[in-house]
A and B are shown apart, each in its own frame.
Chain A
Amino acid sequence: MGNPADILIIDDDKDIVDTMRIILESKAYQVRAAYNGREGYAEMEKKVPDVIILDVMMSTDTEGFDLAYKLQRNPDYKQVPILMLTSFPQKMAAEGPEKFQHILGEEWPVTVFFEKPVKPEKLLSAIEEILQDKKG
């Protein structure tokens, strides 16, 4: 890829960030990392990335969702695709309390939603697909 895409990882789990960085950098992507929603937003303000990889539960249960909605309300960041990750079992989320279903039922600000752990190949192909869609 002539012009390597810029990927912003926002996750409070350093091990996850490190391993994803290794996997993504192996494909020559530019990787930036932030360890909470606030830092993530600050990184956005520095430079708008091509893709965001975002964790759901950080210091609060819904920090990732909150950031995603915040970004969606900002016309500058609205177009940035979000790949959302969580250790939160999706099965539970689907059957969970109304509060959570309400969040999931709103206008969905996320492009792809994966349950952790994600296989390296799956992560890379998802990123590739997102970038392809963005170009097309």
Chain B
Amino acid sequence: MNPIQPEINEQELRDAIEEKKRIIFGELKERIHWFIRLRWFVPGGIALGSVVAVLLGFENLAIGTLLLTAAAILVYNSFFFLIGRKKTDRGIGQRGYIRNLTRWQFGLDYVAILLLIHFTGGIASPLVFFLIFHIIFASILLPSRSSYGFATLVVAGMAVICVAEYGGWITPHPLVFRGQSLNSADLPFHVMMVLGFFAASVYITAFFTSSIMGMLRKRISNLVDLSEAVRRLNEKMNALYAVTQAIGSVKKLDRVLKMVTSELCQVMGVLGISVKLLSADGKFLHYAAAEGLVADVFKSKVVEVAKSPLNRQVVEGKPYVTGRVTQREMFQFGEDLAAANVQSVLFVPLIVEEKIIGILGAYCKYQERFSPEEVEFFRQAAGLVAVAIENARAYESIEKLMEERTWFMMRVAHNLRSPLAAVISILDVVRGGYQGSLNDAQSEYLRRIDRRVRTMLTLIDELLTLAKSREERRKLTFRPVDLSVTAGRIQRTFQEEAQRKGLTFEVTVVDALPLISGDPDMIEQALENLVSNAIKYTAAGGRVRVEFSMGSKHTVQIQISDTGIGIPKDARDKLFSEFFRAENAKALEEHGTGLGLAIVKESIRQHGGRVIVESEEGAGTLFVVHLPSYNRPLNG
């Protein structure tokens, strides 16, 4: 429908041939320059030959004419040399130039050599053999037709010389050696024999040489084809490799598709590459990527599978389809494709686990383009693209899940904190005396309520922190912490509860306890969890002791010991996991989150410390916490 397109196609073919010719002519040019370099020796050779001939005793030599010919050769070779140098970079248009240069060289060479032959005895001249070399060169450098042409010229030239000398139209210059001369004019039969065999030799040489050259030229062109094919294959392998890389490294679907399509577009040398994804019901195809095409036009379009026969064939399981845009009934958006200058398309399915998830399409500006090799390559690429898509989709769904989880946790945090915030606000109003003044005891108890509620608030935050720190270690702002202050607070917080349970409760701190580096609230939270457990799981009459002391090597050691129910052996491994509670603990206390020790472990770990447990069921438990001291040496 568009008459210009096939011409472009032909043009491309011509370009390919032109390229091959360019390479072959490049070779020829090299040889012609070599020929010119070789010719520099000829004038010297003639001069030397003349001198040697005279010294050997040849008489009657036309030395002047011979030297004049040598000078002429020198002149025209200089001329060719200059032209050759000046026009080395003429590019593709050099074909004619090379041919003409060659023809002129051979022409002038023939004239020169025929002159030399004439002046050195005509058909009897030993220089006749040099003509054979020229035929070989001509056959190498020129097409076989030209080499036969030159062979004919040579034979004709020789015949003319013989006839003219015999007929006396030109003066023969027979070689005379010590009085003996060989005048070919005296031996017409011999001349005819020599001329006949000379002609046969010349033609046979031309035939053999040009046949061999033909084969060589074909070989060169095959090699060029082969190296081109290897280069293309290499490009394709690289493209596939890039796709494989994208699968591994790029997580966002959009970016994966962008990378993959642009890579394929380049390596296939096509106008565009598209990725269409099939909807869940299999009825629609959405453009997920449209490289090289007008993305806005295509991305907004939705292909209805039922309305697009080409796409339908792929969705229904054809391994590939090709189509021309002129077959407008095969396309739903044929007009858009034509507007984008697309002439033909290739569609292959994107398959993951035997399920078609979409279509990979290539769009070409030529009508006939997709060779079986290209189709095969495209299908292999489609396999990788499908995996890349699945991979990116899986990653995105995980990301979405993570985001939903974070939102869920935030909402949990909000809902847990809201009632506490209200309780604290009410406490603030009462404790602040807004509703009348309180006596000392009331104030003290409300203060304790406030403290516990605030501890709970912190606990909620810490819980979330714990959950988050599993994903990404939280950045803590560490500062020096005086554990004796913490000890005092623990004493006050738990004294009353222990008393009420009938326990002995002691908190001791050695003198000059070093500071530790950390988050005081977090440390306190961890220790509170341990002390609270000790009190909870120790029966009346028991003892809970908290001792702050120096540990070995720049650490502070905190021991929390009780005479409580102890921890069963089989429970010790799981003791610090979230939501784990030992059987004997559950029996004693129905409610409990099972989070306390998990938080302890995580908090201590984040402070670069460790926590050890020793216990005997029924006899008691000892938790030992080691925390690095604040001013410890860096290598300590």
- Seen from chain A, the residues whose Cβ lies within 8 Å of a Cβ on chain B are 13, 15-16, 19-20, 22-23, 26, 57, 61, 86-89, 91-93, 95-100, 116-120
Point out the residues of chain A lying under 8 angstroms from B428, CB to CB.
Answer: 19, 23, 117, 119-120
A19-B426, A61-B411 known; A89+B432 contact, CB < 8 A: no
CA distance A116 to B413 in the complex (A): 12
- Seen from chain B, the residues whose Cβ lies within 8 Å of a Cβ on chain A are 403, 406-407, 409-411, 413-414, 417-418, 420-426, 428-429, 432, 434-435, 460-461, 464-465, 468
A117-B425, A120-B429 known; A13+B468 contact, CB < 8 A: no
Q: Decide: A89 and B464 in contact? CB cutoff 8 A.
A: yes
- Write the chain A residue with the least CB distance to B434: A22
Q: Decide: A96 and B429 in contact? CB cutoff 8 A.
A: no
Point out the residues of chain B lying under 8 angstroms from A92, CB to CB.
Answer: 409-410, 413, 464
- Write the chain B residue with the least CB distance to A15: B422
Point out the residues of chain B lying under 8 angstroms from A86, CB to CB.
Answer: 414
CA distance A95 to B467 in the complex (A): 13
A96-B410, A117-B424 known; A89+B429 contact, CB < 8 A: no
CA distance A117 to B431 in the complex (A): 14
Point out the residues of chain A lying under 8 angstroms from B468, CB to CB.
Answer: 95
Choice from B414, B418, B421, B434 contacting A23 with Cβ under 8 Å:
B434
CA distance A95 to B410 in the complex (A): 10
Choice from A16, A26, A61, A93 contacting B425 with Cβ under 8 Å:
A16
- Write the chain B residue with the least CB distance to A14: B422
Point out the residues of chain B lying under 8 angstroms from A88, CB to CB.
Answer: 410, 413-414, 417
Point out the residues of chain B lying under 8 angstroms from A98, CB to CB.
Answer: 403
- Write the chain A residue with the least CB distance to B411: A61
Q: Decide: A23 and B432 in contact? CB cutoff 8 A.
A: yes
Point out the residues of chain A lying under 8 angstroms from B461, CB to CB.
Answer: 89, 91
Point out the residues of chain B lying under 8 angstroms from A13, CB to CB.
Answer: 418, 421-422
A61-B411, A89-B413, A95-B468 known; A20+B425 contact, CB < 8 A: yes
Offer 11 A-B interface pairs, CB within 8 angstroms, sorted by A. A13-B421, A19-B422, A61-B411, A87-B414, A87-B421, A89-B461, A92-B409, A92-B413, A92-B464, A95-B468, A96-B406
Q: How far is the CB of B364 from chain A (nearest CB, A)?
A: 41
A22-B429, A92-B464 known; A117+B421 contact, CB < 8 A: yes
Q: Decide: B434 and A15 in contact? CB cutoff 8 A.
A: no
Which residue among B406, B423, B435 has the maximum number of chain A CB atoms within 10 Å of its CB?
Answer: B406
- Write the chain A residue with the least CB distance to B409: A92
- Write the chain A residue with the least CB distance to B418: A87
CA distance A19 to B406 in the complex (A): 31
Q: Decide: A89 and B417 in contact? CB cutoff 8 A.
A: yes
CA distance A93 to B468 in the complex (A): 13
CA distance A13 to B424 in the complex (A): 13
Which residue among B403, B422, B426, B434 has the maximum number of chain A CB atoms within 10 Å of its CB?
Answer: B422
Q: Decide: A22 and B435 in contact? CB cutoff 8 A.
A: yes
CA distance A61 to B411 in the complex (A): 8
CA distance A116 to B425 in the complex (A): 9
Which residue among B407, B425, B460, B464 has the maximum number of chain A CB atoms within 10 Å of its CB?
Answer: B425
Q: Decide: A97 and B432 in contact? CB cutoff 8 A.
A: no
Other A-B pairs beyond A22-B435, A87-B421, A116-B418, 16, CB < 8 Å = A13-B421, A13-B422, A15-B426, A19-B429, A22-B434, A87-B414, A92-B410, A97-B407, A99-B403, A99-B407, A116-B417, A117-B420, A117-B421, A117-B422, A117-B424, A120-B429
